Amino acid sequence: MHPILILVSQRIALGLLLLFAASVLIFAGTMILPGDVAQSILGQSATPEALANLRAELGLNEPPVTRYFNWLFGAMQGDLGVALTNGQDIADALGRRLGNTLFLAFWAAVIAVPLAIFLGLLAVRYRNRWPDKLISGVTLASISIPEFLIGYLLVYFVAVKLGWFSSVAMINDSMSLGDKLSAIALPVAVLVLVVLAHMMRMTRAAILNVMQSAYIETAELKGLSGFNVIFRHAFPNAISPIVNVVMLNLAYLVVGVVVVEVVFVYPGMGQFLVDHVSKRDVPVVQACGLVFAAVYIGLNMVADIVAILSNPRLRHPK
């Protein structure tokens, strides 16, 4: 077998193993804690009958291992159980919201990735001059402010003071794509700002690393312009680390989305999770946690696989 196939399949197997272990951890995180789940859901004043009912409903009378496997096999067949608070099917509600969240994250990625790479190249081209310094300064500022505050800053200045966009991002199926895009403009802008800084810094670092090679010096000596050296000679060799950074940041988007959705009252996964954490609806929280972990682990796995595939030494073994 081709060695690259072996490496890739090993990485996929590792990813699946990790996902399985993560599901154990998420399940254990809500079970093996001091105190009783039913008690903490209903509070101290609950009657014994109500507690017994809830325990039976949650299946708390069975041993944890049985419960875990029931839950896992259910989840694998797309059955995530029903929400405690309103008795609705979780998989159903989750599917719709996951679609909304991916819509948001997709547009954020479409804008952030090319912009980050371009600005990273720009920072390298004008290294240690004012464009580079400006970019680093903005980067430092944007990683020092939590996502929700960037969100409110934008709402305050763009939506309220300038009145360009709406301050809440409600979308539904009957809206046209244009309306939807206008509705999510602000949350997308926040997400872009959040991941842009990190991606740009890493792009800059990756290209600077390559810029120290001998062949770059040759290219400079034969008289190529600054941008040409970067585009034609440095960039292709920096693709692997850049793709890696892009993937890790997309994984980070998945987390950033939780907070941003709450800020803009966007009907996505993150809001769903936060709502049900405060209602102590454990089955919904577990399901959301599992989906978030799966996306996160999946993107990290893709990052590793791309790194393997983009390494010419592995693609063309001697």
Q: Is 297 among the residues that bind other proteins (CB under 8 A)?
A: yes
Q: What is the DSSP string of 63-101?
A: -HHHHHHHHHHHHHTT---B-TTT--BHHHHHHHHHHHH
41 alpha-carbon distance from chain centroid: 29
Using CB under 8 A as the binding criterion, the count of chain residues that bind other proteins stands at 51
Residue from the set 6, 25, 110, 175 that interacts with other proteins by CB under 8 A: 25
In the bound state with other proteins, the residue whose beta carbon lies nearer, of 3 and 146, is 146
Per DSSP, 32 falls in state S
In the bound state with other proteins, the residue whose beta carbon lies nearer, of 245 and 282, is 282
Number of Cβ within a 10 Å radius of residue 296: 19
> Alpha-carbon Rg of the chain, whole angstroms?
24
Residue from the set 12, 13, 16, 33 that interacts with other proteins by CB under 8 A: 33
Q: 82 φ, ψ to 5°?
A: -115, 150
Q: Is 274 among the residues that bind other proteins (CB under 8 A)?
A: yes
First to last CA, the chain: 14
In the bound state with other proteins, the residue whose beta carbon lies nearer, of 126 and 152, is 152
250 alpha-carbon distance from chain centroid: 5
Choose the binding region for other proteins from 37-45, 191-199, 224-232, 303-311 (rule: CB under 8 A).
37-45
Restricted to residues 149-168, the positions that interact with other proteins (CB under 8 A) are 149, 152-153, 155-156, 160-161, 167
The whole-angstrom separation of Cα 137 and Cα 8 is 39
Residues in the chain, total: 318
Min separation Cβ 261 and other proteins, Å:
10
Min separation Cβ 95 and other proteins, Å:
19
Q: Could you tell me the two tokens for 218? A: 């040759």
Q: Is 260 among the residues that bind other proteins (CB under 8 A)?
A: no
Cα dist from 33 to 36, 59, 69, whole Å: 8, 16, 19
Min separation Cβ 68 and other proteins, Å:
14
In the bound state with other proteins, the residue whose beta carbon lies nearer, of 183 and 297, is 297
Restricted to residues 66-105, the positions that interact with other proteins (CB under 8 A) are none
Min separation Cβ 143 and other proteins, Å:
8
Choose the binding region for other proteins from 34-42, 72-80, 191-199, 307-315 (rule: CB under 8 A).
34-42
Cα dist from 98 to 110, 114, 133, 248, 282, whole Å: 18, 24, 39, 19, 18
- Cβ contact 54:294 at 8 Å: no
3 state DSSP class of 62:
coil
Judged by the rule CB under 8 A, the positions of this chain that interact with other proteins are 18, 21-22, 25-26, 29-30, 33, 35, 37, 40-41, 140-141, 143-149, 152-153, 155-156, 160-161, 167, 251, 254-255, 258-259, 262, 273-274, 276-278, 280-282, 285-286, 288-289, 292-293, 296-297, 300
